[in-house]
Chain A
Amino acid sequence: MNNRIKEYRVKFNLTQDELAKMVNVRRETIVFLEKNKYNPSLKLAYEIAKVFNTTIEDVFIFE
């Protein structure tokens, strides 16, 4: 599974730290997600999509 978190984060002018605080996870988790080293839970995927005002399938690409 790939994702567009970094792309959206840059678009929204957010740092990894800010995004982490907004979705209540550690910065390290955002780093892992951006590097595609971790697949988030449905709850976290939903929280991230909500921050970017979009849908889960738009941020996370299932292959």
Chain B
Amino acid sequence: MLEIINLNFMKKGFLAIGVSLLVVISVGFWLFNSSVSLKSVDLLQLLIIVLLIGFGVFFGIKRLRSAKRGEPVEDELSKKQLQKASSISYYFSLYWWVFLLYIKDKVVLDTEELIGMGVIGMGVLLVLSWIILRFKGIRNE
């Protein structure tokens, strides 16, 4: 039973890694082939996207390693870590959106840029919350 579940998780892990790599390759091709000159803000956004994708790949590889070792790829601790990280990042992302709405009138920003910054910020907050929880642990709940 555990092997079947692990096999499904392994497939998901491979899929996540495959999709992430496809995104990276596509972005790479687009960058090299496009004649559009990138601003430093665009490059910063791109760097953050690459870091987020890197985190996704790391997560996928971690799952695959667990599956290969014959241990469950998800257990109560990993689920709790993800749930808690999601709830913390959701809470802080509300303030992030409020901040973006506040600066929208002060700085010239396209709608696409604003939404992009919001989504990327949410991703960064999720990753940061997860990393902090990994170091801090989850106690007295």
**A contact residues vs B (CB 8 Å cutoff):** 1, 17, 20-21, 24-29, 32, 35-41, 44
Q: Is B138 an interface residue (CB 8 A)?
A: yes
- Select which of A26, A35, A36 is within 8 A of B75 by beta carbon: A26
State whether B137 touches A38 (Cβ < 8 A): yes
State whether A24 touches B75 (Cβ < 8 A): yes
Residues of A within 8 A of B139 (CB): 1, 36-39
Q: Is B77 an interface residue (CB 8 A)?
A: yes
7 contacts between A and B (CB under 8 A): A24-B75, A25-B71, A29-B75, A29-B78, A36-B139, A37-B136, A38-B137
State whether A39 touches B72 (Cβ < 8 A): no
State whether A26 touches B77 (Cβ < 8 A): yes
Closest beta carbon of chain B to A3's beta carbon, Å: 12
The contact size tier of chain B is: 10 to 19
Closest residue of B by beta carbon distance from A43: B76
State whether A29 touches B70 (Cβ < 8 A): no
Residues of B within 8 A of A28 (CB): 77-78
Q: Is B45 an interface residue (CB 8 A)?
A: no
Interface centre among A24, A28, A41 (most CB of B within 10 A): A28
State whether B137 touches A26 (Cβ < 8 A): no
Closest beta carbon of chain B to A26's beta carbon, Å: 5
Residues of A within 8 A of B137 (CB): 32, 35-38
Q: Given known contacts A25-B77, A37-B137, A37-B139, what 6 new A-B pairs fall within 8 Å (CB)?
A: A25-B72, A26-B75, A26-B77, A29-B75, A40-B76, A44-B76
Q: Is B37 an interface residue (CB 8 A)?
A: no
Known contacts A20-B71, A21-B70, A21-B71: A26-B140 contact under CB 8 Å = no
Interface centre among B77, B136, B137 (most CB of A within 10 A): B77
